[in-house]
Structure 1
């Protein structure tokens, strides 16, 4: 049996003011081709399908068109889609009755009955190309405190509850499986030791806890398909416990990540092999320069930036400009835009770094009480000194004082 593991699509995501529908459309078209070429039996989508809990109509249309086309292109395909921390469980599950006609199982939240958690809806059969059940999937969505069972006398009830629900689901999967059928598990969580992208991953901290131990997945689980962390990685080097990573770089900090999906081949109840398939990048992200540099050097690099002249606007690269300043530069954006005149590029952000950055000794640390007693000019002076490593020029202080004096009395601090 062949599985494809993907996650963290973040449909509807924007890079600052630039929407990324074209990139997502290109990825989904590539994924359809890959599913067909590989003749995948089951598609596992491990959370954060959408970028926010109120996705646009266009983003929802992308998802449902993809699911429909996936079944048309690969008629035997089973699909399991679970919610991540960015998704709305209810919104994701709303079309579930219709999606079930496509053999697409959508798990947004932990289902309950009057007797407690309905584990049967979390343990799903996966069929091979002949239509026979070849594996069982523990389809666990992102777990919130109200989703997990209460564990008496636990030091950390949330962590203990997550471990308990995975253990209960695994026990049920063991009951359901026949000899030779594998058990796979899905999760959208931060596992201890996983490497985080600080710029674009929302930290999951509940009750002071952040990372879940990989030991919640029993040794009898053949493969663990994880979502949440955007960097593709194997837990402890184990190819059967892994994050597949996001299909697109969600921020410039993810520029050098390997964006991929994972193909998993099952042989009976074990993993025979795993294989990474890189996702083509339809729009480039550029950092100019790679490290912050003085303004004159940055402008020179921008002016000589060589880009294909015939790119359609939807494929113009996104650009992060990185400048090191020794003093404030009020006309910075105008200078950068002038250097980029007529270039097919989208300026996302200008990142500035002061030459005095990191010189904590330049400004003495003060307490909160001391800060509250500072006059605006004193606060501004300390802030400037902290950032640039020297006292502000007299003419700048004079201009600041003039602005404060011109403010209506009720608006002054």
Structure 2
């Protein structure tokens, strides 16, 4: 029995205004035959299916067309989808009853009655009607839903309370899953930041606990033979445990383009809980490349740029200058156009940044786009601009407001 774990598709995402629809279609066109060839029986998408809570019509079209293709062109028995922090729980849940006709099981968000565990449990049965697998489909859970109020505690207390609450949830859910599974393996999902993640492994922090490091693997009951995690955009195993991240299947940032993209393949021997886990590299349509140097070197880099992907890369260009260079954008675009014609790389942005100089105060300050900064980083920069002293109380108040706004 083979299960495929993927997450963080972020359908509808852009990079500096450049749509990524073609990148997503390229991935899904690879995924459909892979599901068929590998005889995958369960596909798990562990949150952040969409990039925004109100996805575009095109993003939704890609999503529904994919689910139809899975039903018509593969032997997948069940597609399990859980909501992430970027998803709208109600929007995901709305067509859930209809999508059951395509063997799609959806849990968009945590229910008001957190103890109604039947909502999260999906079982897979064989031809003899015996249970082969139980999946505890857990979506993103905001600490507020667990009764944790960030404005009432200090960071240490929040960390301890949230860890206790979410651990109890997973342990109680394992009890309910075990009653259905009997001797069959149990898999869980989750959308959170666990240990081993780095600050830029995900677009934003989603819990107050994120300010103190990720959650430990001990929150997951040992009865879960595999935990399919989402939110972190890099594929790795958490603390040598049964919890794994698959990462995002397309590079959504410059850093993500520096590393391969993966899905996780989980295989069980028939009638056994023993498993193997294999990272499968995903082909990408194009990369996002950062080009940063002085103008002369930028010219040389652009004239000699090459790629092995089906499409040319997206370029993020930062030019070090002593003074503002008018007409620079057109100059660099013409270099690429003359060199590559219709197969030219796309330029996401061209930024002029001060060259390093002892006499230049701006030299030590990087040019930032608001899209590159988290809300907290913007807040700190604003405080710095207005000479506002940021102490722990002010920072904690801001984080509380931010978290409660994103419930």
State if a TM-score over 0.5 links the two structures: yes
The superposition leaves residues 179-214 of structure 1 with CA deviations (integer Å, 9 ceiling, x where unpaired) of 2x011110010002223435x522213375662221
| Superposed displacement of residue 316, structure 1 | 4.0
Q: What is the match of residue 202 of structure 1?
A: 204
Bigger RCO of structures 1 and 2 (CA < 8 A, at least 6 apart): 2
Say what the alpha-carbon RMSD is for the aligned residues.
Answer: 2.8
Shift in alpha-carbon separation, 1:106–1:385, aligned structure 2, 3 A: closer
In structure 1, C-alpha distance between the alignment counterparts of 2:120 and 2:145, rounded to whole Å:
12
Q: What is the match of residue 257 of structure 1?
A: 259
The superposition leaves residues 40-84 of structure 1 with CA deviations (integer Å, 9 ceiling, x where unpaired) of 111111000000100011111111111121122234521110000
In structure 2, C-alpha distance between the alignment counterparts of 1:28 and 1:129, rounded to whole Å:
29
Is the 8 Å Cα contact of residues 70 and 76 (structure 2) preserved in structure 1? no
SS in 1 for 2:224: coil
SS in 1 for 2:157: coil
Listed as ranges, the gaps of 5+ residues in structure 1 are 364-381, 389-413
The superposition leaves residues 367-391 of structure 1 with CA deviations (integer Å, 9 ceiling, x where unpaired) of xxxxxxxxxxxxxxx8536549xxx
Q: What is the match of residue 273 of structure 1?
A: 276
TM-score of the superposed pair, with normalisation by structure 2: 0.79
Q: What is the match of residue 91 of structure 2?
A: 91
Say which of 122, 131, 136 aligns to 1:138.
136
SS in 1 for 2:223: coil
* 2:152 paired with 1:182: no
Is the 8 Å Cα contact of residues 44 and 79 (structure 1) preserved in structure 2? yes
Listed as ranges, the gaps of 5+ residues in structure 2 are 367-407
In structure 2, C-alpha distance between the alignment counterparts of 1:193 and 1:294, rounded to whole Å:
36
* 2:192 paired with 1:193: no
Q: What is the match of residue 317 of structure 2?
A: 321
Is the 8 Å Cα contact of residues 354 and 363 (structure 2) preserved in structure 1? no
Q: What is the match of residue 228 of structure 1?
A: 231
Shift in alpha-carbon separation, 1:73–1:129, aligned structure 2, 3 A: farther
Tell me which structure has the larger Cα radius of gyration: 1
TM-score of the superposed pair, with normalisation by structure 1: 0.78
SS in 1 for 2:132: strand
Q: What is the match of residue 286 of structure 1?
A: 289
Shift in alpha-carbon separation, 1:269–1:172, aligned structure 2, 3 A: farther
| Superposed displacement of residue 243, structure 1 | 0.5
Q: What is the match of residue 403 of structure 2?
A: none
Q: Aligned pair count?
A: 353
Say which of 159, 164, 170 aligns to 1:160.
164
| Superposed displacement of residue 127, structure 1 | 3.7
Question: By percentage of residues, which structure has more helix?
Answer: 2
